[in-house]
């Protein structure tokens, strides 16, 4: 009988389609981890490390979930990545082979990828390193800081050329020429002499002044307040640092999740350049909680509620509540604090803010009990990204009971503070320094109050040694001048011991001893702390620390007593700050014995 050729053709097409699907499925199956190798004969260690970091095909080949197509695609793209790594190190005549199961990856079509890949080998012959025969860029603005390696005879790294171009443009922008650009670049390699000639031509463009702040997109903060907070100096000569300060002021207000300032593409009359502002509002309301634990002081719980944009001008209203000494064996009793604070940024220029506060507090400490109410108003000012200050007028009333008896007092206070902070992180500092100075003149306003001054200082220093070790040091100082110990609230006097001063010593165990066994706070205080923070595997870290404290009866350090403690701590990095567990014991002094345990969030200082 004759064959039905139509059925035969249909059957054949079906078989072809099934075979094609099978090939496609096989190529997409995860490949077993392949053998990998990179060799670069004669390459220095730094270049070899850069090549390894650029070779994504080796990483793909080692990953158990990579398919053959994934590995081949990475291998084909690695030629350009390896060339970039070589140029960045000043090698301009390399020979690169990327072999996939012995075949050059560039010769394998992406449509004919093998089903499995068992070996990926990269061989790089870097050749000779090149040096600059010519390194020219111009014209450059006065005071332009060109990279030191952009000179004839220096290694001809492509990154040096890029940095020189950026430095040239940045120099003109700092001089007010916002539209400076590279108009021509001529890069010529002379292979026989292994040299590179680099010639960059810059066009400064016209001088530019700040135009208007153009607000784009919606925001719950009123446009007028956005402009006031940003403080863009319209009409002044363009300055990239001034532009960044405007962005930072908006971020510092806390009302926005993101802030973007974009320069207009074209200039207006007189060289004016408008700046487009786009903000993304943060959630207007926020609530938070905190907790700390000490074996002797007990548990401290805190909570806050905050509104970020109360009146439509980025005003912040925050309520805080805290209960301390819960379950403490040597904390005296439970402490209660309830406070509220209102902040409004940019009230006198963009860098000066206004605040008002009120608080009620009960402190039930081992050596005194104090009920206090206070309220006040003040100004904050940001001098730079590192230096800030504040000044206020506050009124305080206190009912006090301690070993000197029961009394009440009212004070008018003028607290002034100055803070320098260039730490890399507030919760987990690895480098930088911190200094906070405070002076509070006290004016007697009633009861048993006395006039004087309260002075404090807190200095911290952090130094990083390699990637795993950080040494940190802290010194605290406090003094009450003029007034006697019975003429100021006990909370303004000084005690030592516990997690905030000397770990390993009981809470506020060091005080001024009076005849008959009475105890009161001192009029002078010194605290010293040192830590060695060592990173372990993963997110864990180990801390060794030692603390010492002094409390004296006089305004300046003289007569008084010292005590100290030391111990070890464990840290677990959460990404926003470490969880802290410290175990410490007394080293000197007669104020306590036994082991103390402290648990909290963030480093001790």
DSSP codes, 452-494: EEEEEEEEEEEEEETTTEEEEEEEEEEEEESS-TTSS-GGGSB
pLDDT over 90 (residue 291): no
Closest by alpha carbon to 412, among 360, 361, 375, 372? Answer: 375
8-state DSSP, 537: S
> Residues 297-317: pLDDT tens digits?
788 999 999 999 999 999 999
Least confident piece of the model among 152-156, 260-264, 454-458, 577-581: 577-581
User: Distance between CA 352 and CA 388 in Å, rounded?
Assistant: 10
pLDDT over 50 (residue 451): yes
pLDDT over 50 (residue 187): yes
In 3-state terms the chain splits into helix, strand, coil percentages (rounded to 5) of 20, 45, 35
Residue 423 vs residues 89, 420, 461, 532, 569: alpha-carbon distances, Å = 33, 9, 9, 17, 22
User: Distance between CA 42 and CA 473 in Å, rounded?
Assistant: 45
Backbone angles phi, psi at 105, to 5 degrees: -60, -35
- Per-residue pLDDT at 331: 67
Contacts of residue 74, Cβ cutoff 8 Å, sequence gap at least 6: 56, 57, 59, 60
User: Distance between CA 602 and CA 605 in Å, rounded?
Assistant: 8
CA diameter of the chain = 128
Residue 329 vs residues 241, 290, 325, 342, 580: alpha-carbon distances, Å = 54, 21, 8, 36, 21
Other Cβ atoms closer than 10 A to 49: 12
User: Distance between CA 310 and CA 321 in Å, rounded?
Assistant: 20
Which sign, positive or negative, has the C-alpha torsion 445, 448, 453, 457?
negative
- Per-residue pLDDT at 292: 82
Answer whether 506's CB lies under 8 Å from 596's CB: yes
Contacts of residue 85, Cβ cutoff 8 Å, sequence gap at least 6: 47, 50, 51, 53, 54
Which sign, positive or negative, has the C-alpha torsion 78, 79, 80, 83?
positive
Q: What is the DSSP string of 146-214?
A: --TT-STTSB--HHHHHHHHHHHHHHHHHTT-TT-EEEEEEEEEEGGGTEEEEEEEEE-----EEEEEE
Domain 436-601 has CATH 2.40.70.10: no
- Per-residue pLDDT at 14: 39
- Per-residue pLDDT at 490: 94
Count the alpha carbons within 13 Å of 540 in the hemisphere toward its beta carbon. Answer: 6
535: tokens are: 């990173």
Backbone angles phi, psi at 335, to 5 degrees: -105, 145
Backbone angles phi, psi at 193, to 5 degrees: -100, 0
Q: What percent of the chain clears pLDDT 90, i.e. is strictly above it?
A: 79
Beta strands in 329-384 (DSSP E): 335-344, 352-365, 368-382
Question: 58 or 27, which is more confident?
Answer: 58
pLDDT over 70 (residue 237): yes
Helix, coil or strand: residue 125? strand
pLDDT over 50 (residue 44): yes
Most confident range (mean pLDDT) of 65-74, 104-113, 431-440 is: 431-440
pLDDT over 90 (residue 536): yes
Other Cβ atoms closer than 10 A to 372: 19
Q: Do domains 209-281 and 436-601 have the same CATH topology?
A: no
User: Distance between CA 415 and CA 139 in Å, rounded?
Assistant: 52
Q: What is the DSSP string of 223-262?
A: HHHHHHHH---TTSBP-HHHHHHHHHHHHHTS-EEEEEEE
Question: What residues form DSSP beta bridges with 475?
Answer: 459, 528
Domain edges within the chain = 35-125, 131-203, 209-281, 285-365, 436-601
Residue with tokens 């403690």: 565
pLDDT over 50 (residue 70): yes
What's the pLDDT band for 153 if we cut at 50, 70, 90? very high
Least confident piece of the model among 132-141, 208-217, 242-251, 555-564: 555-564
Question: 109 or 297, which is more confident?
Answer: 109
User: Distance between CA 357 and CA 343 in Å, rounded?
Assistant: 9
Helices 240-252 + 158-174 axis angle, to 10: 90
- Per-residue pLDDT at 31: 46
- Per-residue pLDDT at 264: 96
- Per-residue pLDDT at 112: 80
- Per-residue pLDDT at 8: 30
User: Distance between CA 254 and CA 318 in Å, rounded?
Assistant: 12
- Per-residue pLDDT at 163: 97
pLDDT over 60 (residue 397): yes
Stretch 95-118: mean pLDDT? 90
Q: Which fold has domain 209-281?
A: Ubiquitin-like (UB roll) (3.10.20)
- Per-residue pLDDT at 32: 54
- Per-residue pLDDT at 15: 33
> Residues 83-100: pLDDT tens digits?
999 999 999 999 999 999
Torsion of CA 80, 85, 91, 97, to 10 degrees: -50
- Long-range pairs, 72-78, Cβ under 8 A, ≥24: 72/100, 72/105, 72/108, 72/110, 72/113, 72/114, 72/117, 73/110, 75/100, 75/105, 75/120, 76/105, 76/106, 76/108, 76/110, 78/54, 78/105, 78/122
Other Cβ atoms closer than 10 A to 349: 10
Cis geometry, peptide bond prior to residue 38 (ω within 30 degrees of 0)? no
């Amino acid at each position: 009988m004759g064959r039905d050729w139509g059925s035969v053709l249909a059957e054949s097409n079906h078989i072809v389609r099934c075979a094609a699907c099978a090939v496609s499925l096989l190529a997409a199956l995860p490949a077993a981890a392949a053998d990998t190798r990179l060799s670069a004969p004669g390459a220095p260690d730094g270049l070899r490390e850069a090549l390894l970091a650029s070779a994504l095909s080796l990483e793909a080949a080692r990953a158990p979930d990579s398919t053959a197509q994934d590995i081949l695609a990475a291998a084909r793209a690695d030629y350009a990545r390896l060339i970039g790594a070589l140029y960045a190190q000043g090698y301009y005549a390399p020979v690169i082979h990327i072999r996939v199961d012995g075949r050059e990856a560039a010769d394998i079509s992406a449509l004919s990828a093998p089903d499995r890949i068992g070996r990926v080998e990269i061989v790089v012959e870097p050749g000779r390193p090149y040096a600059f025969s010519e390194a020219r860029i111009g014209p450059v603005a006065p005071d332009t800081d060109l990279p030191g390696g952009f000179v004839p005879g220096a290694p001809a790294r492509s990154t040096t050329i890029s940095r020189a171009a950026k430095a040239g443009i940045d120099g003109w922008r700092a001089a007010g020429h916002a539209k400076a650009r590279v108009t021509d670049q001529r890069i010529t390699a002379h292979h026989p002499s292994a040299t590179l000639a680099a010639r960059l031509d810059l066009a400064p463009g016209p001088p530019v002044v700040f135009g208007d702040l153009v607000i784009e997109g919606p925001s719950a903060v009123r446009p007028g307040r956005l402009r006031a907070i940003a403080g863009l100096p319209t009409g002044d000569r363009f300055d990239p640092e001034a532009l960044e300060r405007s962005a930072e002021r908006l971020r510092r207000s806390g009302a926005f999740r993101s802030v973007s300032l974009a320069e207009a593409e074209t200039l207006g009359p007189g060289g004016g350049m408008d700046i487009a502002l786009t903000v993304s509002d943060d959630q207007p309301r926020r609530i938070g909680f905190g907790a700390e634990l000490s074996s002797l002081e007990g548990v401290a719980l805190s909570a806050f509620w905050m509104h970020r944009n109360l009146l439509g001008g980025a005003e912040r209203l925050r309520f805080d509540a805290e209960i301390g000494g819960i379950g403490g064996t040597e904390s005296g009793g439970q402490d209660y604090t309830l406070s509220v604070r209102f902040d409004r940024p940019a009230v006198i220029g963009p860098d000066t803010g206004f605040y008002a506060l009120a608080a009620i507090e009960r402190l039930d400490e081992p050596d005194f009990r104090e009920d206090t109410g206070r309220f006040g108003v003040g100004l904050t000012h940001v001098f730079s990204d590192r230096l800030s200050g504040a000044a206020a007028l506050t009124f305080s009333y206190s009912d006090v009971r301690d070993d000197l008896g029961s009394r009440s007092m009212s004070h008018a206070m003028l607290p002034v503070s100055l803070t320098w902070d260039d730490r890399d992180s507030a919760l987990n500092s690895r480098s930088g320094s911190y200094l906070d100075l405070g002076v509070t003149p006290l004016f007697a306003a009633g009861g048993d109050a006395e006039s004087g001054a309260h002075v404090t200082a807190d200095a911290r220093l952090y130094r990083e040694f390699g990637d795993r070790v950080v040494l940190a040091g802290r010194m605290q100082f406090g003094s009450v001048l003029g007034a006697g110990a019975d003429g100021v609230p006990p909370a303004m006097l000084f005690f030592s011991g516990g997690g905030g001063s000397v770990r390993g010593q009981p809470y506020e165990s060091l005080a001024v001893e009076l005849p008959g066994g009475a105890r009161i706070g001192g009029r002078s205080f010194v605290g010293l702390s040192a830590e060695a923070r060592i990173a372990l595997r993963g997110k864990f870290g180990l801390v060794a620390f030692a603390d010492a404290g002094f409390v004296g009866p006089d305004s300046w350090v003289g007569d008084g007593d010292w005590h100290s403690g030391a111990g070890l701590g464990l840290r677990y990095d959460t990404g926003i700050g470490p969880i802290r567990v410290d175990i410490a014991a007394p080293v000197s002094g007669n104020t306590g014995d036994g082991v103390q345990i402290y648990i909290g969030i963030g480093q001790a200082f």
